Structure 1
Amino acid sequence: MSNCFLFDNDGTLVDSEYLCNVGLVLMFRRHGIELGADELVIRFRGWKLASLLSILEEEHEIKLSANFVKDYRKIVSELFDNELKPVEGVIDVLESLKGPKAVVSSGPMHKIKQALDLCGLSKYFGDNLFSSYEVGIWKPDPGIYLHAAKEMGYSPDRCIVIDDGPVGVKAGCEAGMKTYFFNRFNEECDSAGVVSFRRMAELPELVGT
């Protein structure tokens, strides 16, 4: 039986983390607050949006409007339309990995689908898309990956997680799955058994295809 590959989306399949945080920079600028997109990428990759906004509200002593998320999503969607690209080397990787594949993301479903469509990746996953917003579970809770495995018909020990965020790596490990950390920023990882790599092209050899 083949392995089942469970991919994170933002920053793993599509090069969207920076664009998502540019959206936050633009939104907070409306409040006279200057944030750095690069710093936000490092700090909040894979986080639930509501959680990171709550922290930023507290740090900057502001209360965001009820329309903030809607306006933010619109800005990000426009940035995606104009600038989104697949992660370098990921198409070759998806072509070479033999076995079913799914996307397991903390983002809303419409954002997942838009990103995959724009980057030409939808054909590799079909309907195997799992969003925290639909499941009601956010990384680092391992439940999101366990749910995806169950729906795909695979036991955790036959699943391989590929994620670029520390919270996602933690979720994969705690789900009992072999976890590969797409570690573009050369960060420390204290989760036991994680395989860290910096270039997507390295992945097929690491998983033994």
Structure 2
Amino acid sequence: MAGPALVIFDCDGVLIDSEALSASVFMEELALLGMEIDLDYFARNCLGRAFPSVRARLERDFGQALPEGFEAHYRTKLMTRFSRDLKVMPEVVEAIRRLDRPYHLATSSAPARLAQSLAITGLNTLFEGRCSTASEVRRGKPAPDLFLHVAALYDVAPQDCLVIEDSEVGIAGARAAGMRVWRFLGGAHLAPLAAALPQTPQDPALLGGADLAFDSFAQFTALLSAWPLRPLIQSSPFSGASK
């Protein structure tokens, strides 16, 4: 079988178009506490990270502790918004059904949030028994631990894995694991980058450290057939908070 032996998908911003919704609800809840952040802050410090590291960064930057129960309250509000507005990424179901190799989901989301997100979008049947979260490893993204954990589950060497990520945090984790990584730009939160993709596909700002970038899962099967497309980017150092 040509191509990667295992495909590892991030969830938020890759399988489901959730990141813009998450940012909106999170910013609204923080504003009620007098902690004003913008989309740039969210992208740099929250996107792709597990909540404990996000909490630590916010409390350090604002010099105040988040109240007890904030995470649970935020997640309740978010699930209410998800139940109304969350959508699966276009073409992703068809792309996964066409896969002729093992695949798995690796996310920084908490297990309960992941389960709810998959149920809302109907992806739970496709990913039953194929999910891992940062709660299963000592360090979340951008550390390589979660990706290496998934590879070990399938007894696949890191260099034979392909990771699909949207965030630079996730890309850094995949690279640190020694895996190829493609950046998906089709989520609403990355629309400005996706708009520039046809003109500047090799722009470092679009790649974010990935081997290539794409914005539609309609392209995915064709891209896999051209694997590996370019030499493997070598592992790089990372910095990030522990899970």
Q: TM-score, normalised by structure 1?
A: 0.88
Match of 1:67 in 2: 69
Q: Is the 8 A contact 1:173 1:194 kept in 2?
A: no
Q: Deviations over 1:18-74 (max 9, x none)?
A: 1222221221122134434x4355323201222223323333333211211111111
* Counterpart residue type for residue 203 of structure 1: F
Cα distance in 2 for partners of 1:40, 1:154 equals: 36
Match of 1:199 in 2: 216
Cα distance in 1 for partners of 2:96, 2:42 equals: 24
User: Once the 2 structures are TM-superposed, how far is the Cα of residue 166 of structure 1 from its aligned partner?
Assistant: 0.6
1:109 to 111, 128, 137: 111
Cα distance in 1 for partners of 2:28, 2:135 equals: 24
* Counterpart residue type for residue 183 of structure 2: F
Match of 1:147 in 2: 149
Where does 1:45-124 land on structure 2 (aligned, <5 Å)?
Answer: 45-124=47-126
- Consecutive unaligned residues in structure 2, runs of 5 or more: 194-204, 227-243
Farther off after superposition, 146-155 or 26-35:
26-35
- Consecutive unaligned residues in structure 1, runs of 5 or more: none
Cα distance in 2 for partners of 1:76, 1:107 equals: 13
What is the alpha-carbon root mean square deviation over aligned residues? Answer: 2.1
1:4 to 3, 6, 12: 6
Q: 1:123 to 1:145 in 2, by over 3 A?
A: same
Q: Is the 8 A contact 1:101 1:124 kept in 2?
A: no
Cα distance in 2 for partners of 1:12, 1:32 equals: 31
Q: Deviations over 1:111-151 (max 9, x none)?
A: 11111111111222221110001323201111110100111
User: Once the 2 structures are TM-superposed, how far is the Cα of residue 75 of structure 1 from its aligned partner?
Assistant: 1.2
SS in 2 for 1:123: coil
Where does 1:170-189 land on structure 2 (aligned, <5 Å)?
Answer: 170-184=172-186, 185=190, 186=193, 187-189=205-207
Where does 1:12-31 land on structure 2 (aligned, <5 Å)?
Answer: 12-31=14-33
SS in 1 for 2:132: strand
Cα distance in 2 for partners of 1:126, 1:46 equals: 22
User: Once the 2 structures are TM-superposed, how far is the Cα of residue 17 of structure 1 from its aligned partner?
Assistant: 0.9
Cα distance in 1 for partners of 2:138, 2:79 equals: 22
SS in 1 for 2:141: coil
User: Once the 2 structures are TM-superposed, how far is the Cα of residue 165 of structure 1 from its aligned partner?
Assistant: 0.8
Cα distance in 1 for partners of 2:220, 2:42 equals: 22
Q: Deviations over 1:144-199 (max 9, x none)?
A: 101001112322222211011111111112212221111343334463x6122122
User: Once the 2 structures are TM-superposed, how far is the Cα of residue 201 of structure 1 from its aligned partner?
Assistant: 2.1
Q: TM-score, normalised by structure 2?
A: 0.77
- Aligned pairs, how many? 207
Cα distance in 2 for partners of 1:120, 1:24 equals: 24
